[in-house]
Amino acid sequence: MLLLLPATRARALSVDFDGSAGTSFTLPTFSVSAARTPRTPRKPGAPRAPRKPRTPRVPRRVPRRPSAPAPAPAPAPSPAEAGSVSFNGVTLPADAFSRTDRIPDSLVSAIDATRSTLRLALYELTLPGVADAIVRAKQRGVDVALIYDQGHGAGAGPAGGSLPSSQSGPSAQFSQVVAAGIPVRLLKGGGSWGIMHNKIAIFDGELVETGSFNWTTAADQNNFENAVFRDDASLASLYQSYWDWMWALATPVGGSAAPPAGGFGTPPSDPSPSVDFNGGVWPRAIFSPDGGTEARLVDAIAHCRSSLDIAIFSLYSQPVADAVLAARGRGVAVRVVADVSQARRSPQVAALVSQGVALRLSAGRGGAYGVLHHKFAVLDGKLTATGSFNFSQNAEKFNFENQLYSADPGDAAAFEGEFEAVWAQAHVPGPGEVQGAGVALR
């Protein structure tokens, strides 16, 4: 007699067909239960045997286990970790780079979303779409005001009229802003070469934009640049205090733009420094002229323990160069990528090269017309410093500049990624390429 075995539920078994990974087929397997003894068949007409009564099942009380507490929700990522910030319904990049991002589009989005106030401090303006957005903001009732570098604004008169100027003249976009009736003041730095070099926007007192990115077509198309957006009202208030300080020093378009006889005084400082790094605390932002920006950068480099990556347009600060060499001397892995046109004239760059610092040169993204215009450092992969501040005495003593500090991991990762990309396309200085016999203009 053929005995059929009942099959339990099939279970998939994956078998390598030829012994190599990735080639397999699936076979069903069966478990076999023990065969039962067949019952003796009942004779026809015989009475059925009475069934035994079932024993009633007594329900067993099982105490309920207490439910496990719900896991705590993961902390929300910071703006930089999330990679974006939100402002009045629009999303903006926390960190943007001209190599990969359309920074002018983000500027237009932020300006178009502004509802009440827009404060600008710009070295130069040649972006048509951005100028249009500034004028639109004025037309819909936003309180707009602009501080502009005197060297780029000279020659523009009220309502777009022309004034005598030794410069090539203001851009059409700047003249458009003046003609729209937007309050504009011009500001010149100290000394012979001092400039108003900021690239700052404060939107509704809630959002701040800064970085190396001039609001120009060259910055957008030819240069390596960065811009950061922060939706932080406290940080916006700090930048607003600096903007107010500059506004009081600036003069209306068409007026005298000479520096005050008694000097500029001291710019505002961060009332609540809160950026922690290797046992020290840094301000969220620091300002020039004479605000101590250079000293705090040197101090940050002195706290560096493992790695230091610098991307810099103009390096003429001897204290910064000395701090970089000291970091290398104590075993910090140092890399510097500098703009080729500025580095050729810098004694400090020449000293770094002669002392064996890993240094490369970049001409930006636009061939003969491009520059590496970054001014940032990433220290130990934890602290990021960026802004308009070149590493030079002129930036410290005579220019209007800003430098932003951040210990946010998202910022460090973003700027480290930008550094690696710029470093990869840069070149090692050739024989005689770095002479070191120039004067810093920025």
**pLDDT per residue over 287-299, tens digit each?**
999 999 999 999 9
For a pLDDT cut of 90, what percent of the chain falls above it?
71
* pLDDT of 192: 87
Summarize the confidence of residues 42-61 as an average pLDDT: 51
Residue 399 near residue 365 (C-beta atoms within 8 A): no
Reported confidence tier of residue 366, pLDDT bands at 50, 70, 90? confident
What is the Cα gyration radius of the chain?
34
Instruction: Kindly give the interhelix angle for 128-139 and 172-179, rounded to the nearest 10 degrees.
Output: 0
Burial profile 379-406: b = 16 or more Cβ within 10 angstroms, e = fewer: bbebbbbbbbbbbbbbbbebbbbbbbbb
Comparing 257 with 326, the larger pLDDT belongs to 326
CATH topology for 273-442 is Endonuclease; Chain A (3.30.870)
Q: Please answer whether residues 271 and 180 qualify as being in contact, where contact means their C-beta atoms are separated by less than 8 angstroms.
A: no
Strands 143-149 and 117-122: parallel
The reported pLDDT for the residue numbered 10 is 38
Asked if pLDDT for residue 1 goes beyond 90, the answer is no
Instruction: Report pLDDT for 37.
Output: 46
pTM of the model: 0.79
| Least reliable range by pLDDT among 4-8, 58-62, 226-230, 352-356 | 4-8
Nearest to 88 by CA among 219, 197, 229, 191: 229
- Provide the pLDDT for residue 9: 40
Looking at every residue in the chain, the average pLDDT score rounds to 84
Query: What stretch of H or E contains 239?
Result: helix 233-249
Catalytic residues: 373, 375, 380
Please give the pLDDT value at position 34: 42
Does residue 289 have a cis peptide bond before it, meaning omega lies within 30 degrees of 0? yes
Name the least confident of 15-29, 61-75, 393-407. 15-29
Question: For position 350, what pLDDT does the model report?
Answer: 97
Counted residue by residue, the chain has a size of 442
Instruction: For the chain, give every domain's residue range.
Output: 80-254, 273-442
- Which pLDDT tens digit goes with each residue over 431-440? 989 976 444 4
Q: What is the pLDDT of residue 368?
A: 77
Q: What is the dihedral of CA 148, 153, 156, 158, to 10 degrees?
A: 20
Of 13-17, 56-60, 190-194, 306-310, where does mean pLDDT reach its minimum? 13-17
Amino acid sitting at position 229:
F
Fold agreement (80-254, 273-442): yes
User: Mean pLDDT, to the nearest integer, of 49-75?
Assistant: 50
Helix (H) or strand (E) holding 288: none
Query: What DSSP character marks residue 68?
Result: P
Architecture of domain 80-254 in CATH? 2-Layer Sandwich (3.30)
pLDDT band at residue 44 under the 50/70/90 scheme: low
Is residue 57 predicted with pLDDT exceeding 50?
no
